[in-house]
Structure 1
């Protein structure tokens, strides 16, 4: 099944209808201000956020802004003792590297693309390690190093050490767990078994209501993406898969103590998509209701031609939500 990760699509061009809208900047005006500042060539606002999941989301948004790689070096020179410009530079060089690689399968990426990809990731790691040395309690340098390491194929041992470094600083850091899930999945040299085991173990270690229940839904979506033809539907509609999804939803998105704030919308959308694919209309409707009509780009951009809002609306209708 062809993937659409990072294939140069302008995903935000899709406009919601019938009470549906695409989430932008996590629905957070502070993130919008930081993004607009970055687009104007100014590093501003990140320091106002604590070193936490909230900063991870904001940093991810800034890393996707074209041109940050041009002015961030001036910010580093102007603040020689600060780790924050280094962190921004590292995150941007990782995202910029992936732009060169695109989201295509490895066999569809040219040698020249890989050379640019790896060069940018190596530069990113220099910035990130320096930021981590200056601020040893920060989790975000290690979170971004998980992504750069996967692209540089550092291998499972180093990847595991980086993940352990992240969770020592924040045991339930959503983005770090999402990135490590990618590391252990089959397409990056892991296996379906390792991926599902990691997802469920992470969910069970976290408090009930944690966002980490999303990992179970993402693991099943990744497994589904790795199949073709009728095998996709057979897999998602399997009794074990539906039971696994229900267990995870009950412990997270549908739990009375479900976390608020950064990542919540994406978690609700991930479960809505997974249950719709599984044909579990009852749980799908509950998860669609939990989204409040707000659509996250991920993971919907995997289907329906990369149109997240269109995919959301089609699948929501299919379950009668």
Structure 2
């Protein structure tokens, strides 16, 4: 378990198949935020107003403690319920104590409150829903991930966040979602403390198994540095080391995989910013058709189009550097970092 940095205490305290063996063509089709083969039927059923498939899916991942998939499915189901709530309201009405319904309900409430200017106040009203989800299954780390996100949005104190973190890692020491939530809390609470965030991410990755998505956490911290405009300079060697660790993880994952696409899309951004063009081209081959909204929605209202333009440029003959001033392509200067980006969602 990676302890939270001591600086917290100081304050008191329809797609075509990808080509796994090579590069995609610039014109190959791509899909945005595609679900996997287990989630797809649940979303199709939800579109018909039926919740049973979603309930069964979450019960199955909970039964075998497949917490990473459990977390991903909760996020996707809550996102779907935000725009198509009928099926979820039927689930909550029919089975109000179902752990899956409680968990999706907690995530949905946080998602709904997040964009509001009164976010902190609205999120405080959500606390009972997160507590209920946590009590429904004491083994599940996902309510604690939601609680960490909630703590960031409600501007909770550091001592309270440390307690949440310790509870989360007791349940799943290497849960990727909880680690990302903790990293984002650190970045938000200590704006510009990029070296400390990288320290936290490095310790977590060193402790995690080689195939854990926590291995990509340093690259996530590097992304934070590269898209920020403040704080002391981070040595280029640390950024390259973070990218190398994520590259090693990516190589262990299946090619053209919708879940691995999350880490690969963020890694692609980091590689482009570091001007590691051949590594970036190789990641395009592993990403295949699977584009994720994050990080590209940080730079454009059309994340898929933004990715496709970047892919076309990387696959085109000639020099690799992108046009000056491009938020995605600004070269890294050892004396500064980051172009302007849109504020990130939670």
Return the TM-score normalized by structure 1.
Answer: 0.77
Asked whether the equivalents of residues 143 and 175 of structure 1 are also in contact (C-alpha less than 8 Å), the reply is yes
Partner-residue secondary structure (3-state), 1:96: helix
Asked whether the equivalents of residues 30 and 288 of structure 2 are also in contact (C-alpha less than 8 Å), the reply is no
Q: Which runs of 5+ in 1 are unaligned?
A: 1-15, 102-112
Q: Which residue number corresponds to residue 22 of structure 1?
A: 31
* Runs of 4+ with deviation above 6 angstroms: 68-71, 259-262
Residues 83-106 of structure 1, C-alpha deviation per residue, up to 9 Å, x if partnerless?
22221211110111114x2xxxxx
Q: After the TM superposition, which residues 1-321 of structure 1 pair with which residues of structure 2 at under 5 Å, given as runs?
A: 18-26=27-35, 28-44=36-52, 45-48=54-57, 49-51=60-62, 52-65=67-80, 66=82, 72=88, 75-99=91-115, 101=116, 113-114=117-118, 117-185=119-187, 187-189=188-190, 191-227=193-229, 239-254=236-251, 257-258=252-253, 263-303=259-299, 305-320=300-315
1:70 Cα deviation (Å)? 6.9
RMSD (CA atoms): 3.0
Q: Distance in 1 between matches of 2:49 and 2:72?
A: 19
Matched residue count: 282
Partner-residue secondary structure (3-state), 1:137: coil
1:264 Cα deviation (Å)? 0.7
Q: Name whichever structure is richer in helix by fraction.
A: 1
Q: Which runs of 5+ in 2 are unaligned?
A: 1-24, 317-346
1:151 Cα deviation (Å)? 0.7
Residues 275-307 of structure 1, C-alpha deviation per residue, up to 9 Å, x if partnerless?
01110112212222211232111112222x232
Larger Rg belongs to: 2
Q: Distance in 2 between matches of 1:72 and 1:313?
A: 34
1:64 Cα deviation (Å)? 1.6
Residues 163-215 of structure 1, C-alpha deviation per residue, up to 9 Å, x if partnerless?
22222212221211111111111x33352122111111111111123222222
Return the TM-score normalized by structure 2.
Answer: 0.72
- Residue 308 and residue 20 in structure 1: after superposition, are their counterparts in 2 closer, same or farther (change >3 A)? farther
- Which gives a bigger RCO, structure 1 or 2 (Cα 8 Å, sep 6+)? 2
1:267 Cα deviation (Å)? 0.8
Moved more, 172-181 or 88-97: 172-181
Asked whether the equivalents of residues 144 and 164 of structure 2 are also in contact (C-alpha less than 8 Å), the reply is yes
Asked whether the equivalents of residues 297 and 308 of structure 1 are also in contact (C-alpha less than 8 Å), the reply is yes
